[in-house]
């Protein structure tokens, strides 16, 4: 108990620090101009390497905050502290041209700990959605035949700090919840260097968000079949808009504008299969975005589904079954976009592969994954984003707080 | 513990030997990836579906009222520039410039024995400035004053001041004013009678050359004037210290004759001034001083007049700019005032390259050189670095159609509009620098109708 308290205090300090410095801009895509931006998904290290498949899995190798019921899988002797980082290289192509961007940032900080034999908890910080774009256009100077360069940028996004718990009331049945506080801002700017003006439209967003999860396991012949269910209800986000227009001579703040941002009802089902060191899983998730409307003439929302599957298998050879065993993971994911532009969906598809490499020093495991995929299409005047995403998940199990017990 | 860490060390070592050789490859790949990225300033994908909240429009339909105002007079003493000549100008009227100065007294040394007077002359060097028809010859004369030059209470003399002088000139010269001529670098008035008289008085230690008071009573001063001759140009003479001199030449009658001279320089710098007479009766500006020192462009053939020394200032007012407050959510990003000179109005009078813009002071300054039609002082608008704001001058040498002056008056307009009320009556004044107003006859005739003077606003709405 004492170590648990200590770790939570440490984590709180880190989180407080992080939220102050990281306004987690973790995407860089012109598509993030719409709505809440790019939805990040809740998959941590090993699950990311399996195409983001995790609803059916327990938090045995990593904190699986996708399904709060999974926390009961956290080993009673181990506290888990994970930091996720990523670097993403994207190439954007229209039917005529192609341009590329690179960005990298911290992705999440997660913590898992079993408090009592019947209660496992998790605490963490991660982005819910993110916005990041920088687009230059030639805009007309009305009343002349001249044009000027107008730069549009977007940044920010919605972050979440969550606290979750999981209990196992009946053998093989776990229930869990995540109570999250969503906060952040959606910031769009437009400016011109030549005419020295800068318009900044910031919508501050906040609200509480509750998610629920279930995990049920059947063990037959050393084979474990799991079923996971997750649910989150729709909610209205509290918003406050501040639009500031700045010119060489004046700054004016407009406060009367208001934008509505909502989160849709979300549910998912996942199945997982584990035998020995081998695992496989499949996820299906649905978000009812149709109920959420954004004020933008170009886009419509729609209910979106996500499908993913992934497998994990151990390295063969003498290390198999030892603490030096490496896990390999592959997976695939398909996400229907929650928006359509001129009735054209911006779907996301990716193949993932990765490895969990045990270091067993102060970093216990490094989960590396490479995600190769694309987003969108070059049809209908849109563009396609091809990306390579390198995710790094550093897992600090048996960190100093466990060693303390030996003292 | 030790057993485990030995195993860990071995494993780590093995892992690193495996990874090491890939590190350079990974770094190279990373560098290639990052360096191949598009610069953010060039990134434009996504522009088709971005919704802009701002519109930039150019509006140049605000009414601009053009008028001409005139200064009562300009302070012309102490400018170090003496102007002489006449302008025959159909557009601006005829102008006559004459310049006054006196001589400095100094204790004259004894003149040697066997000294004989030879000649004497006033030497007034050219500055190089000239205006008007400089190809025609011009005739100017120098007259002795019959009264002393005295300044007003403020210590200055103005373009309307004058002093009595002898009707008959002491000396007359005819010159070719073209300033590039190498032969004439100065006006040279031969004044032997004056010179000999002075020479004799100095030699004889006459009381008239014994002190400043006596000397100034004896030699009161001089005026260089074109008289009634039909000159067509005005030239500038250098009236800086020790530039205008009276030279008395004499020689010593020795075995080998020796040439000697006495130099008497121009006197007090504030006693040198230019008197300006002008006759606008044949122009649209006739009687402007009796019309409240102002004429609207509608009374002057839709033209605005600007000229140094006669004190003409072009004034612009924006009576409909107040209408801008009927709309909300806008900002003015740039405001330009564009004026074009009337075609062919500057054939004989080169356009000044530097044009300034003035606003009426909130508190009138007594020391101001220039004033508006009500007598309030006006001062130059300044740029961000607090230097006087000048117009961008586009000179279309070939066709003359695109010759224009453009002022960036963004900060003035934004300041004036900040109060949600625009006071248009004070207006803006276009003219030369204060120094050029006092020392040149440079002029511009601004077109007021085709095309009109434009106030061009870059207007952002959001």
pLDDT confidence of A270, banded at 50, 70, 90? very high
Q: Per the CB < 8 Å rule, is B59 touching A143?
A: yes
Q: Per the CB < 8 Å rule, is B54 touching A97?
A: no
Domain layout of chain A by residue ranges: 2-406
Total residue length of chain B: 462
Residue A395 has pLDDT above 60, yes or no: yes
Q: Per the CB < 8 Å rule, is A33 touching B50?
A: yes
Beta strand extents in B239-362 (DSSP E only): 245-252, 258-265, 273-279, 294-296, 303-307, 312-317, 330-339, 356-360
Residue A21 has pLDDT above 50, yes or no: no
pLDDT tens per residue across span B347-382 = 888 899 899 999 988 888 888 888 888 888 899 998
Mean pLDDT of B431-440: 91
* Cβ–Cβ contact B40 with A under 8 A: yes
Q: Per the CB < 8 Å rule, is A136 touching B41?
A: yes
In terms of C-beta density within 10 A (0-12 exposed, 13-18 middle, 19 or more buried), how is residue A268 classed? buried
Q: Per the CB < 8 Å rule, is A141 touching B56?
A: yes
Taking CA atoms, what residue in B is nearest to A143?
B58
Which pLDDT score is estimated for A116? Answer: 83
Size of interface A-B (CB pairs under 8 A): 129
Three-class secondary structure of residue B231 per DSSP: coil
Cis peptide before B451 (omega within 30 of 0): yes
pLDDT tens per residue across span A153-184 = 998 889 999 999 999 999 899 999 999 999 99
Of B333, B328, B332, B350, the closest CA to residue B341 belongs to B350
Give dist(CA B409, CA B429) in Å, integer. 12
Give dist(CA B196, CA B210) in Å, integer. 17
pLDDT confidence of A403, banded at 50, 70, 90? very low
Taking CA atoms, what residue in A is nearest to B60?
A143
pLDDT tens per residue across span B269-289 = 999 999 999 999 999 989 888
CATH superfamily label, A2-406: Outer membrane protein transport protein (OMPP1/FadL/TodX) (2.40.160.60)
Indicate the pTM of the whole model.
0.76
Residue in A100, A381, A383 nearest the CB of B37:
A100
Q: Which residues of B touch A101 (CB under 8 A)?
A: 37-38, 43
Q: Which residues, other chains included, contact A277 with Cβ-Cβ below 8 Å and sequence gap of 6+?
A: A312, A313, A314, A320, A321, A325, A327
* Cβ–Cβ contact B47 with A under 8 A: yes
Q: Which residues of A touch B332 (CB under 8 A)?
A: 247
pLDDT tens per residue across span B188-211 = 899 999 999 999 998 888 888 888
Residue B219 has pLDDT above 60, yes or no: yes
Which H or E element spans position B25? helix B23-35
In terms of C-beta density within 10 A (0-12 exposed, 13-18 middle, 19 or more buried), how is residue B427 classed? buried
Three-class secondary structure of residue A10 per DSSP: helix
pLDDT tens per residue across span B158-190 = 999 999 999 999 999 988 877 555 556 888 899
ipTM over 0.85: no
Six token digits for residue A63:
């904190």
């Amino acid at each position: 108990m004492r170590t648990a308290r200590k770790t939570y205090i440490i984590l709180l300090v880190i989180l407080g620090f992080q939220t102050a410095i990281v306004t987690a801009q973790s995407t860089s895509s012109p598509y993030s101009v719409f709505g809440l931006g790019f939805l990040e998904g809740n998959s941590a290290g090993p699950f990311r390497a399996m195409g983001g498949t995790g609803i059916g899995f327990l938090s045995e190798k990593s904190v699986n905050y996708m399904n709060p019921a999974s926390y009961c899988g956290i080993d009673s002797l181990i506290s888990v502290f994970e930091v996720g980082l990523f670097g993403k290289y994207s190439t954007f192509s229209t039917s005529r041209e192609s341009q590329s961007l690179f960005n990298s940032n911290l992705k999440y900080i997660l913590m898992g700990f079993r408090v009592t034999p019947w209660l496992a908890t998790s605490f963490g910080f991660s982005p819910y959605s993110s916005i990041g774009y920088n687009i230059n256009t030639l805009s007309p100077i009305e009343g002349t035949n001249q044009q000027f360069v107008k730069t549009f940028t977007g940044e920010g996004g919605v972050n979440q700090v969550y606290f979750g718990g999981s209990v196992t009331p009946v053998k093989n049945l776990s229930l869990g919840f995540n109570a999250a506080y969503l906060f952040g801002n959606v910031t769009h700017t437009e400016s011109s260097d030549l005419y020295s003006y800068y318009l900044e439209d910031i919508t501050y967003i906040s609200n509480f968000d509750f998610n629920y999860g279930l995990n049920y396991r059947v063990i037959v012949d050393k084979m474990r079949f799991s079923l996971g269910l997750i649910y989150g209800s729709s909610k209205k986000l509290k918003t406050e808009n501040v639009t500031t227009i700045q010119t060489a001579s004046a700054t004016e703040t407009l406060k009367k504008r208001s934008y509505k941002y909502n989160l849709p009802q979300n549910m998912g089902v996942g199945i997982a299969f584990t035998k020995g060191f081998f695992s496989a899983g499949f996820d299906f998730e649905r978000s009812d975005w149709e109920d959420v409307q954004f004020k933008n003439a170009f886009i419509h929302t729609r209910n979106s589904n996500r499908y993913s599957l992934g497998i994990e298998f151990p390295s063969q050879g003498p290390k198999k079954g030892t603490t030096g065993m490496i896990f390999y993971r592959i997976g695939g994911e398909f996400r229907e976009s929650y928006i359509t532009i001129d009735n054209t969906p911006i779907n996301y598809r990716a193949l993932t592969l990765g490895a969990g490499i045990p270091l067993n020093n102060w970093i216990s495991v490094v989960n590396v994954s490479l995600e190769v995929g694309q987003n969108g299409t070059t049809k209908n005047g849109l563009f396609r984003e091809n990306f390579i995403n390198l995710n790094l998940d550093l897992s600090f199990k048996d960190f100093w707080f466990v060693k303390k017990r030996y003292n | 513990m030790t057993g485990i860490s030995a195993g860990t060390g071995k494993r780590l070592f093995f892992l690193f030997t495996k990874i090491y050789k890939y590190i350079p490859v990974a770094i190279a790949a990373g560098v290639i990836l990052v360096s191949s990225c598009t610069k953010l300033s060039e990134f434009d994908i996504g522009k088709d579906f971005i919704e802009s909240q701002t519109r930039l429009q150019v509006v140049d339909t605000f009414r601009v009222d053009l008028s001409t105002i005139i200064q009562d007079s300009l302070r012309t003493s102490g400018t170090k520039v003496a102007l002489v000549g006449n302008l025959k100008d159909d557009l601006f009227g005829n102008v006559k410039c004459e310049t006054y100065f006196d001589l400095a007294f100094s204790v004259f040394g004894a003149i040697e024995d066997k000294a004989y007077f030879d000649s004497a002359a006033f030497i007034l060097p050219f500055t190089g400035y000239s205006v008007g028809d400089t190809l025609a010859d011009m005739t100017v004369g120098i007259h002795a004053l019959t009264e002393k030059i005295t300044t007003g209470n403020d210590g200055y003399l103005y373009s309307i001041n004058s002093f009595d002088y002898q009707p008959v000139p002491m000396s007359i010269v005819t010159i070719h004013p073209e300033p590039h001529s190498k032969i004439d670098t100065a006006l040279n008035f031969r004044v032997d009678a004056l010179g000999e008289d002075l020479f004799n008085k100095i030699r004889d230690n006459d009381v008239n050359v014994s002190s400043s008071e006596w000397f100034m009573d004896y030699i009161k001063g001089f005026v260089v004037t074109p008289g009634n001759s039909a000159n067509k140009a005005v030239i500038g003479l250098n009236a800086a210290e020790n530039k205008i001199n009276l030279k008395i030449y004499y020689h010593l009658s020795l075995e080998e004759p020796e040439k000697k001279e006495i130099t008497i320089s121009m006197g007090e710098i504030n006693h040198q001034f230019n008197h300006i007479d002008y006759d606008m009766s044949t122009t649209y500006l006739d009687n402007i001083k009796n019309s409240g020192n102002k004429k609207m462009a509608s009374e002057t053939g839709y033209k605005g007049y600007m000229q140094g020394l006669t004190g003409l200032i072009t004034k612009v007012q924006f009576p409909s700019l107040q209408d801008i407050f009927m709309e909300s959510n806008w900002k003015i990003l740039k405001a330009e005032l564009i004026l074009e000179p009337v075609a062919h109005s500057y054939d004989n009078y080169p356009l000044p390259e530097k044009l300034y813009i003035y606003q009426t002071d909130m508190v009138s300054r007594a020391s101001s050189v220039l004033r508006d039609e009500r007598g309030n002082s006006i001062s130059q608008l300044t740029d961000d670095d607090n230097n006087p704001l000048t117009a961008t001058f586009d000179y279309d040498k070939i066709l003359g159609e695109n010759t224009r002056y453009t002022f960036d008056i963004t900060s003035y307009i934004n300041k004036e509009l900040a109060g949600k009320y625009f006071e248009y009556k004070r207006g803006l004044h276009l003219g030369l620098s204060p120094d050029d107003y006092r020392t040149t006859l440079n002029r511009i005739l601004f077109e007021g109708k085709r095309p009109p003077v434009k106030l061009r606003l870059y207007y952002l709405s959001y």
